[in-house]
Amino acid sequence: MLSQHSRYVPFCHDKQINFPAAMSPPSTAVVYDQQGPPDTVTRLTEIPPVEINENDVCIRMLAAPINPADINRIEGVYPIRPPVPAIGGWEGVGEVHSVGSAVKALTPGDWVIHSAYLPGTWQTYVVEDQSLWYKIDKSTPLEYAATVSVNPLSALRMLEDFVALNPGDTIVQNGATSIVGQCVIQLARVRGIHSVNIIRDKPGSDEVKEKLMKLGADKVFTESELEVKSIKSLLDDIPEPLLGLNCIGGNAATLVVKFLKQGGTMVTYGGMSKKPITISTTYFIFKEISLKGYWLQEKTLDKAAYRCSIDYLLALARAGRLKYEIEMVTFNDFHTALEKAMGKQGSGRKQVLKF
């Protein structure tokens, strides 16, 4: 039986439930009973209805992405993960199906996302307290509503929380083709900030460069193009970056630091290469470089700041000024989407489950 750490895992309680006033519909969910390879430990299963209390809202999930952190939680390598058995997914958008008798702010048909990160979005119906849901504009494209609260929000917060950036300033990042990287490029462009972007050397890099330039990138370099004595000469008339963003580690992180101006800051939010960051002592002593880390769940945004950020990002998405590549997949094809998200089938796009 699933543990009751969250109502997102609505399996039967041990105690007797006698004719509740309202019940959710039965739900179909992606469940894993143990940590391990996601493609072998996950299964689709039916979950019985659960009681809807007076302050609860029953949400019919509309769409939910498969994020790298979701995979890591199932594997058991993520710092925070729900106890097993558990239901996958930590992000998504849903439609209000029904509400408890005391709920006034939400009504059936409203679109909502989480106002907090809780496990269990990979299921067709979710029941939780009204305080955990945030109403959004229904004119928002579904795929962006489902994915706004992790990758785009991370990009925005990193641009705002570490260095005071002004129009005309410059940032540099590796992992520029990632969803966060694409968002950084577009958010920087909206604010008049230059972006210098580093991508891996692989076939089709010219097409990748062109795609990122269309999003608003000022400069895009492959790693091998930065094997020069003076990286500064590649900037032309663009100022040296104040802020660097690193999600790769290893040599890719070193390249970010090389671009930074005196007193610049590099923020690390990932380690895709699984290689350590090695920085020359020279950068600390003579350039006074600062190294910091970022983890979205560790940020202490209050509700007002969270909602302001989400509304801002979704407004940009509705206006076509924030976009990224997404592949919508029906919920019944979950395991196909999972294999693509794990890189076992070619796609390169973020997989979003459509319920």
Hey, is 204 helix, strand or coil?
Answer: coil
Tokens found for residue 20: 């509740």
Nearest to 29 by CA among 82, 76, 100: 82
- 27-147+325-354 with 151-297: one CATH topology? no
| DSSP codes joined into one string, 32-48 | ESSSS-HHHHEEEEEE-
Which member of 8, 78, 117, 306 is catalytic? 78
**Which H or E run contains 184?**
helix 179-190
Q: How many helices (H) and strands (E) does the chain have?
A: 10, 16
Q: Is the pLDDT of residue 9 over 60?
A: no
Give the least confident one: 109-123, 249-263, 313-327, 340-354: 340-354
- Residue 95: phi, psi to the nearest 5? -115, 135
Hey, is 253 helix, strand or coil?
Answer: helix
Q: Are 215 and 186 in contact (CB under 8 A)?
A: yes
Say what the pLDDT of residue 79 is. Answer: 85
Amino acid at 100: G
**For residue range 297-345, what is the model confidence (pLDDT) as tens digits?**
756 667 888 899 999 999 999 999 999 989 999 999 999 999 999 987 6
**For residue range 164-221, what is the model confidence (pLDDT) as tens digits?**
999 999 999 999 999 999 999 999 999 999 999 999 999 999 999 999 999 999 999 9
Say what the pLDDT of residue 274 is. Answer: 85
Residue 32 a catalytic site member = no
What average pLDDT does the segment 38-42 reach? Answer: 96
Q: Is the pLDDT of residue 346 over 70?
A: no
CA torsion angle for 81, 268, 305, 72 (degrees, to 10)? -20
CA count, 13 A, side-chain hemisphere, 267? 22
CATH number of 27-147+325-354: 3.90.180.10
- Which burial class, exposed, middle or buried, applies to 135 when counting CB atoms under 10 A from its CB (0-12, 13-18, 19+)? middle
Give Dmax (Cα) for the chain.
Answer: 75
How is the chain split into domains, by residue range? Answer: 27-147+325-354, 151-297
Q: With DSSP H G I counted as helix, E B as strand and the rest as coil, what are the percentages for the chain, rounded to 5?
A: 30, 25, 45
Nearest to 2 by CA among 90, 119, 128: 119
Query: How far is Cα 140 from Cα 134, in angstroms, rounded to an integer?
Result: 14
Tokens found for residue 304: 């007002």
pTM: 0.90
Query: How far is Cα 173 from Cα 181, in angstroms, rounded to an integer?
Result: 7
Fold of 151-297: Rossmann fold (3.40.50)
What whole-number percentage of the chain has pLDDT above 90? 81
Query: How far is Cα 338 from Cα 348, in angstroms, rounded to an integer?
Result: 12
